């Protein structure tokens, strides 16, 4: 079922529409989204394009943990 939902959302975005996705499953967000924002305890810690991370070889789950563990608001 999860693959069906991801396929639907991906096709929806390809048609030129925007989706605001709120999820704790960061791997899914990385697959589907072109940009992201990380909220922690009501504070926006970081936002930007997913490519910004993947071009550096980073991934959303690890990036999230690095921000939260440091207490850094990048």
Dihedral sign, Cα of residue 49, residue 55, residue 61, residue 64? negative
Contact 70, 38 (CB under 8 A): no
Q: What's residue 71's pLDDT?
A: 67
The mean per-residue pLDDT over the stretch 1-23 comes to: 88
Strand stretches in 1-63, DSSP E: 35-40, 43-49
What are the sequence ranges of the domains in the chain?
A: 2-70
pLDDT of 48 reads 92
pLDDT digits (tens, 9 = 90+) for 19-64: 888 888 888 888 888 899 988 888 899 999 999 888 888 888 999 8
Output phi, psi for 43, to 5 deg. -115, 135
pLDDT of residue 29: 86
Its pTM stands at: 0.71
**Alpha carbon distance 72, 31 (integer Å):** 25
């Amino acid at each position: 079922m999860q693959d069906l939902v991801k396929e639907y959302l991906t096709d929806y975005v390809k048609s030129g529409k925007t989706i605001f996705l709120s999820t704790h499953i960061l791997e899914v967000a990385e697959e589907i989204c072109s940009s992201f924002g990380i909220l922690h305890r009501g504070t926006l810690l970081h936002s930007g394009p997913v490519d910004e991370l993947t071009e550096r070889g980073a991934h959303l789950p690890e990036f999230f943990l690095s921000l939260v563990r440091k207490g850094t608001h990048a």
